[in-house]
Amino acid sequence: MHKFQYPPQLTTLNTMLIDGVPVAVRSGAQIDVRDPATSQVNGSLPRASASDENHAVQYAGQTMNGAWRKLDPTARAHILHEIARRIRKRAALSTQIETIDVGKPLSQAERDVGRAARLL
Q: 5 pLDDT exceeds 80?
A: no
Percent of the chain predicted with pLDDT > 90? 43
Residue 116 has pLDDT above 70, yes or no: yes
Q: What is the pLDDT of residues 36-52, one digit of tens each?
A: 878 888 888 899 999 99
- Summarised one tens digit per residue, pLDDT across range 87-101 is 999 999 889 888 878
For 98, other C-beta atoms within 10 Å of its C-beta total 18
Between CA 104 and CA 113 the distance in angstroms is: 12
Angle between helices 91-102 and 106-119 (to 10 degrees): 120
> What is the phi/psi pair of residue 102, to 5°?
-115, -5
